[in-house]
Amino acid sequence: MEIVAFGVQADERPLLEEAFDGHHQVRCLDVFLNRDTAPIAHGYEVVSTNVNADLSAEVLQTLAAGGTKMVAQRSTGFNNIDLEAAADLGLTIGRVSSYSPYAVAEFAWALALAVNRRLVRAAERTRNFDFRLDGLMGRDLHGRTAGVVGTGRIGEAFTRIAHGFGMKLLGWDLAENPECVALGMRYVPRERLFAEADLITLHVPLVDDTRHLVDAAALAAMKDDAILINSSRGGLVDTAALVETLKAGRLTGVGLDVYEEEAGLFFFDRSLDVINDDTLARLMTFANVLVTSHQAYFTEEAVGQIIATTVANVEDHLAGRTSEHMLVTRGQLPAAAR
């Protein structure tokens, strides 16, 4: 069978082709799935997509009308998929329910250390043989307080590293993670975490309850010299409110691997285009802000696991099986999602 895969990164392509080799042929496209590109999938029973694909009801209808029966999403988050619409259309939707949490946790730390110690500014300077230290002073993290919002798999991995740095640990989640408690984490109300933490990192999924969890009020509660890291989903942060906070000279550093309006920008070369997103353009002007292009998951280990699970999801679909990675199985939503 031939599968069509949308949004395949150059580094990912050989791994994807190799993983399907001997099972199925895979047609790798660098374009992302959206309203305009959905007709390409006509005639493909299985379509694979990545994190910023548009899997709205309209796009799902186009896929279903073209004969698609399964979408194999190559990510954990599925806030881009209209699951009800997929169920109504009788589709199967697979995703990768877990993979190396270390990839994302280590990247969140890379952002935290880079903004704290002004690494990007330092590297730009030394490349120009400017060896001054003006404006490069950071702070010891040892003894300071890390606030981990969401202590699931990635939050726990982040917490272990924070523990290694000798930080005090505050956590917020719907349920306590005993592994984090064992490391000395104290679970506190979210407002208290925002007010007391020196380093705040977000690891909850994007759902209705968590959208704009970091809003103007949360930002106002943070210490003036706090560091904010978001490597989860852009919609967790009210970016306009963040820009206002930064304009007021507050927050020591901000590291963002995700941005609420990233679809259509992240993963593409827009260097020659006019950027019409004024919020992102303003965000880029702050010297203490570091933005990366949703790359936290992008390690050999994590991508390898994502691809292996995607292959297994396709095989499960073809064999009529379901698994913990299936969000919808032939039109059936799991009971918990109904």
Ligand X SMILES: NC(=O)c1ccc[n+]([C@@H]2O[C@H](COP(=O)([O-])OP(=O)(O)OC[C@H]3O[C@@H](n4cnc5c(N)ncnc54)[C@H](O)[C@@H]3O)[C@@H](O)[C@H]2O)c1
Q: Which residues bind ligand X (CB under 6 A)?
A: 76-77, 98, 101, 104, 150-155, 173-175, 203-207, 209-210, 231-233, 257-258, 294, 296-297
Task: Let me know: does 51 contact 294? Beta carbons within 8 Å.
Answer: yes
The partner residues of 41 in beta bridges, in order of sequence, read none
Where b means 16+ CB within 10 Å and e means fewer, 93-109 reads: bbbbeebbbbbbbbbbb
Give min distance, CB of 331 to ligand X, in A.
24
Give min distance, CB of 195 to ligand X, in A.
19
Nearer to ligand X, 41 or 306 (CB): 306
Q: What is the radius of gyration, based on Cα positions, of the chain?
A: 21
Nearer to ligand X, 231 or 252 (CB): 231
Residue 192 designated active-site: no
Tokens 């990545």: give the residue. 50
Where b means 16+ CB within 10 Å and e means fewer, 150-186 reads: bbbbbbbbbbbbbbebebbbbbbbeeebeebeebebe
Please, which residues have CB within 8 angstroms of residue 256's CB and are 6 or more apart in sequence?
111, 229, 230, 234, 237, 283, 289, 290, 291, 292
Q: Which residue is nearest to ligand X (CB)?
A: 152
Query: Of 17, 262, 300, 321, which is the active-site residue?
Result: 262
**Pick from 308, 261, 252, 299: nearest CA to 280:** 261
**Pick from 253, 266, 268, 273: nearest CA to 292:** 266
Please, which residues have CB within 8 angstroms of residue 137's CB and are 6 or more apart in sequence?
118
Nearer to ligand X, 16 or 108 (CB): 108
Residue 179 designated active-site: no
Containing 115, the helix (H) or strand (E) segment is helix 101-116
Give min distance, CB of 227 to ligand X, in A.
17
Give min distance, CB of 296 to ligand X, in A.
4
Give min distance, CB of 285 to ligand X, in A.
23
Nearer to ligand X, 283 or 296 (CB): 296
Query: Of 74, 95, 233, 260, which is the active-site residue?
Result: 233
Nearer to ligand X, 44 or 298 (CB): 298
Nearer to ligand X, 215 or 244 (CB): 215
Give min distance, CB of 103 to ligand X, in A.
7
Strand order in the sheet with 168-172: 186-187, 168-172, 145-149, 199-202, 227-230, 253-256, 289-291
What is the set of active-site residues?
233, 262
